[in-house]
């Protein structure tokens, strides 16, 4: 029986063997997809996730080439849809730990989009949007949306904030232009969510097969809640450290 309750958006970055915080091993990814299938959990497009109780939507940030080589064949086997959030500029230098990994070319993005994969916008250069002047941040968002449409001939209706970093004004901007925006707040979906800043479950926290296999159980929900609390505490401590006056 499919689980009851609200659904979840899963976040992946790179599908590779490196074991980095951004990576899920290809075999584990394939196991996770078959686990969803065995559990009868529907995998639905991101645009539909809020209308499906107990369903999952799959998202892949940054559009690493290994999405094309490792994830796409598995998704096709299960006929699962997914959303890939692509940077429209070069952007590689600012991507952090995964920065040396190649990104998908426009041709590969185009091919993916013809295989039931939605290509969402993820800015031009992957900046922390709130660190930019507002106008410039809006340009990053709008230009990446236009470039995807221009290059691929399909609309980009979903947006992901780099690092999940947003402000009320930026969320207003995204709400006007996109059907949905996603952040990095670690949570399942809820009725009252802002569609311009939907929470997601980073699969980094669900690497243990036992956890992934019972994604919607009360136990895993509690575990996610604890991880969120720990993360918020850590972010707060980092914030305090950053805002300490320099002497
Ligand atoms: Zn990103």
Residues 20-50: pLDDT tens digits?
889 999 999 999 999 999 999 999 999 999 9
Residue 5: pLDDT over 60: no
How many domains in the chain?
Answer: 1
Q: Please give the distance, rounded to the nearest whole angstrom, from the Cα atom of residue 223 to the centre of ligand 1.
A: 25
Band (pLDDT 50/70/90 cuts) for residue 92 is low
Q: Please give the distance, rounded to the nearest whole angstrom, from the Cα atom of residue 19 to the centre of ligand 1.
A: 18
Backbone angles phi, psi at 202, to 5 degrees: -70, 125
pLDDT at 97: 53
Q: Please give the distance, rounded to the nearest whole angstrom, from the Cα atom of residue 61 to the centre of ligand 1.
A: 5
Tens digit of pLDDT for each residue in 185-219?
999 999 999 999 999 999 999 999 999 999 999 99
**Domain enclosing residue 232, as ranges:** 8-242
Q: Please give the distance, rounded to the nearest whole angstrom, from the Cα atom of residue 73 to the centre of ligand 1.
A: 22
pLDDT at 205: 96
Q: Which has more pLDDT, 134 or 191?
A: 134
The domain that holds 162 is classified in CATH as 3.20.20.370
In a domain, 238, yes or no: yes
Q: What mean pLDDT value characterizes the chain? A: 92
Residue 222: pLDDT over 80: yes
**Contact at 8 Å (CB) between 103 and 64?**
yes
Report d(CA 21, CA 151) in Å as an integer.
Answer: 31
C-alpha closest to that of 43 among 89, 76, 87, 15: 76
- Beta bridge partner(s), residue 95: none
In a domain, 212, yes or no: yes
In a domain, 74, yes or no: yes
In a domain, 1, yes or no: no
In a domain, 3, yes or no: no
């Amino acid at each position: 029986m499919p689980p009851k309750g609200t659904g979840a958006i899963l976040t992946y970055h790179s599908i590779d063997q490196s074991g980095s915080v951004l990576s899920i091993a290809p075999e584990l990814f394939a196991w996770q997809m078959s686990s969803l299938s065995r559990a009868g959990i529907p995998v639905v497009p991101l645009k539909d996730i809020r209308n499906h109780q107990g369903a999952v939507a799959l998202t892949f940030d940054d559009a690493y080439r290994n999405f094309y080589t490792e994830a796409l064949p598995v998704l096709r086997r299960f006929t699962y849809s997914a959303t890939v959030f692509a940077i429209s500029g070069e952007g590689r230098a600012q991507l952090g730990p995964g920065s040396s990994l190649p990104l998908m070319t426009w041709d590969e993005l185009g091919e993916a989009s013809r295989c039931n994969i939605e290509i969402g916008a993820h800015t031009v250069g992957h900046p922390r949007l709130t660190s930019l002047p507002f106008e410039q941040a809006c340009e990053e968002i709008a230009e990446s949306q236009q470039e995807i449409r221009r290059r691929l001939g399909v609309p980009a209706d979903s947006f992901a904030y780099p690092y999940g970093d947003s402000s009320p004004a930026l969320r207003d901007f995204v709400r006007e232009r996109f059907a949905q925006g996603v952040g990095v707040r670690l949570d399942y979906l809820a009725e009252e969510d802002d569609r311009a800043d939907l929470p997601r479950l980073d699969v980094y926290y669900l690497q243990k097969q036992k956890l992934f296999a019972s994604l919607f159980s009360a136990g895993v929900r509690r575990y996610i809640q604890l991880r969120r609390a720990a993360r918020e505490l850590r972010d707060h401590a980092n914030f305090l450290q950053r805002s300490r006056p320099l002497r």
